[in-house]
Structure 1
Amino acid sequence: MRKQLAVLAATAVLGVTSALAAHPFSDVTAQDWAYQAVERLAAEGVIEGYPDGTFKGQRNITRYEMAQMIARADAHQDEVTAEQRATIQRLANEFANELQAFGVRVNRLEDKVGNFKFSGDARLRYDNVYPGEHGTETLNGKSSFYYRARLKFEATIDEKTKAAVRLSTGDTRFDEEGHSGTSVDEVYVQHQFGKHVLATVGHKDYIVGNGLTYDDSFSGVKLRIGDEKLNTNLSFGYINSNGKKAVSIYEVGYRPNQSVNLKGFYIDRHSSKSNNDKTKKLTDIFGGSLDVYLGSDNKIWLGGEYARKERQGADGESWIVGGGYGKADILQSKTWDVKVQYFNFKKETFVKHTTYDVPTYYYNFVPAHANSKGWLATVDYTLTKNLGLSAYASFKSKTQDNVNKPELYRLDLNYQF
């Protein structure tokens, strides 16, 4: 883009209205078509010329020069319309790398461009995890394409309070009929009490530990107390476990540095009523996880997670352990990582909606992960900024009695915005 065109666009975006300066650039005259735009932005300090007093309007503007104009526009946040502020924010996001390169924090601009923003993601998935027509206990082996799209709206109520709503299509097979359409899968309010207490009330995604036992929705109240080094989560509400189940979840996280991350958790599953209307106490679950990152760039990963039903003994255990190399980042093109993990879920284990893409077996269309063990390989690669590809495959999967089980394969294409 020519420099004069960029300046004219900036004038329209910023809406500056100060008095014109008296010919600050020797190569810009009153006869030039961009004269008024150049003069206005120069008077506001949004643009600067060269040491010899020229503007050089015919040369192409660089991304860094454009980013500087966006950064200087920060001074005019209180003088522009909501539409103009939204345009400035979109430009700030587009030129985030250049802004950060010379020390301008995009977050500072975000704080001043109104109280509303949105983000989202889309996923195309291909796998062989489909329960079949009669809900058999083994994986059917039918390969299917799925799609999912989500759009999240966040509103800042004040400097300590925000509200969010997320719409989702859910995972939908391409050949599926009668899909119910888009639904609200997150709606919550968050409030910061002081520096170390964050309260969340509503319906939101929830990961217990690193997600071995549960990675799905949670409805209720969650209190996060502490900081990035040491924190505690206290949660009271309902999880999705073959219907809504009342729980209290207690978690502790400790991260002394960027190389070590340790977590512990306890899930208290509240009493329910059985068919004969007598109170039935559900088994509680406890566990923990450890992640260690090695090397000068922390690209070598070793980690694992363990969980156990309190009254089931060894039959209630589940664990996964593995290692990997690399660091895939959806915001950085051509980054990648690979992982290999071994999983072992005993017959009475509590693994309901797990983070890990281990083989999923169905009984009457209910996903089950118990009574299985084997290996899982994962590869992640960022094709370009905001577009990533992930591949998963299980191998040597067996029951606890060493009976072979069908293997899983999955390919995900993820886009976020």
Structure 2
Amino acid sequence: MKKSMIMLFTIILVLSIAGTAVAANDFSDVAARHWAYDAVSQLQQAGLVDGYSDGTFRGDKALTRYEFAVVIARGLENYTKANTQQKGLLDKLSAEFAAELNNIGVRLNKLEKNQPNLKFSGNAEVRYTSQDNNGTVASSVGGAYRIRLNGVAKVDDNTNLGLRLASGTTKAGTKYKYSSATFTSFGANSAADDNKNNVTLDRIFLTSNIGAVQTTVGAQELKLGTTNFIVDSGVTSFDGIKFATAAGAVNLVGNWGRQQKNSNTTIEVASLEAAAKQGNFNYGAGYATLKDRGTVHTTLAEYLYGNAKYQFDAGFSLGGEYVYNQQSDSDKTAWTAIATIGDQEIVKKGQNNVVVKYYRVGKNSISRLTSYSLQSKAGAGVTEAFSDVRNLKGLNVAYNYGFSKNLTAYVAYQKLTDREAAAADDRGFRYYRAAVVAKF
């Protein structure tokens, strides 16, 4: 039924834009005083039909019999939600437009057979940033963009193939780079390797259910925790295997695999997480190790972490995450707190919220796989050591607004403070940003 309704919505969109495109005797307008208009209006007010593709029923516009059938079909999907009177209206409408409803069913069956197995969705972000680097390196003003395209193909009833195509900057010798610089700057110098616009197939994996365990194998997202604080999961991938299952009310996820930096460094990842929910309270804990299996074998990080989030009401939630790197001798803790004020998700027109994030990071706590990094001082020869993030604290405040279900925008302010540097070596910075995000 869900596939059929997707096609019905497509037909509604085509009809609302293009009008009638076939013989008039098949798609003649329904008379303005026809009882069906009043019946459908009542069903729309009850929330049982959506009408046109923009969610309205245009009572001031004459509908064809075919358009009526499409709207009625939407109401029939909600038949079990209707009361006795509303069911009577749906039954009466179904009888009146039986031929058209049957015609839709025949056409949908033909269309479904021709649908491609590989389906894509994605998002694109265009942003403009003004950044002040505290005088240690030149401040910057400019725009950038990024596109990510996700594909899913059904292999059989139990298995799917997933992939991702992503634009971003390149870096020689890097497979899954530490840097989170995935945006390409406007007017970037194509001769500079770090500024090239490069589109890559950065993820491809198979997901299958083996009994009660969902198993994913291949190049896939690396996700530790729930807030993207330990690892920026939108950027970071790894080659390996993931297991996900449930033990009663507890969800369990395990990862094992490798992330290649270059010919001399290969990071081995292993983790196990548990998460649960009680009412409005979500919480979880995990353990992860990151080891260099390249030229020199060493343990880079050994994380113990926990997270929690409480939904106070529809307009306010508070959460956070704490990380302890027991591999380090000092500066080994990091934490973040996140408050969301307003709509908790931006999924339709007019929704908005303010998200406030505060974080405090010890120099040896989290790695460059996170997105929280201070500026490198010009000419300082800073290495790309795995844990070279330095002591820092940060504040990010963002306002998000939905222009529609698939088009949102945000404005943000962020300040990162270098907690250990002298004034001449201060690598902190602040920025103001405006962005538009499109989902498709």
User: What are the superposed Cα offsets for residues 143-169 of structure 1, whole Å, 9 maximum, x if unpaired?
Assistant: 221111122221111221111222121
The 8 Å contact of residues 399 and 412 in structure 2, kept in 1 or not, is answered as yes
2:363–2:389 CA contact under 8 A, matched in 1: no
Deviation at 1:283, TM superposition (A): 3.2
**CA RMSD, 1 decimal:** 4.1
- Aligned counterpart, 1:285: 303
Q: How does 1:7-406 map to 2 (within 5 A)?
A: 33-36=23-26, 50=36, 59-60=62-63, 66-69=70-73, 75-76=105-106, 79-82=109-112, 86=115, 115-128=117-130, 140-170=138-168, 171-178=183-190, 179-194=196-211, 196-209=212-225, 210-215=227-232, 216-226=236-246, 229-239=249-259, 244-257=266-279, 259-272=280-293, 279-295=297-313, 297=314, 299-354=315-370, 358=372, 360-362=374-376, 364=382, 369-395=389-415, 397-400=417-420, 405-406=428-429
Mapped partners of 2:344, 2:410: distance in 1: 10
CA distance, structure 1, for counterparts of residue 131 and residue 238 of structure 2: 24
Shift of 1:202: 1.3
CA deviations on 1:300-352 (whole Å, 9 max, x unpaired) are 11111111211324511111124231125343111111122321111212142
Post-superposition CA distance 1:339-378 (Å, at most 9, x none): 22321111212142336xx564237485964311132212
Write the letter of the residue equivalent to 2:432.
Y
Q: Any gaps of 5 or more consecutive residues in structure 2?
A: 1-7, 15-21, 29-33, 38-60, 78-100, 169-182, 191-195
> Is the 1:272–1:282 Cα contact (8 Å) retained in structure 2?
no
CA distance in 2, matches of 1:348, 1:284: 11
% identical equivalent positions:
20
Q: Give ranges in structure 1 of 5+ residues lacking alignment.
A: 1-6, 14-31, 39-47, 52-57, 87-113
Distance 1:180 1:395 in 2: 28
Task: Say whether the 8 Å CA contact 2:131–2:430 is kept in structure 1.
Answer: no
Aligned residues: 340
Q: In the alignment, is the contact (CA less than 8 A) between 2:349 and 2:404 conserved in 1?
A: yes
Counterpart of 1:93? none
CA contact (8 A) 2:398 2:410 kept: yes
Question: What TM-score do you get using the length of structure 1 for normalisation?
Answer: 0.69
TM value normalised by structure 2: 0.66
Give the C-alpha shift of residue 205 in structure 1: 2.3
1:217/1:240 contact within 8 Å kept:
no
Paired with 2:270 and 2:252, the residues of 1 have a C-alpha distance of 13
Using a 3 Å threshold, how does the CA distance of structure 1 residues 232 and 308 change in structure 2: closer, same or farther? same
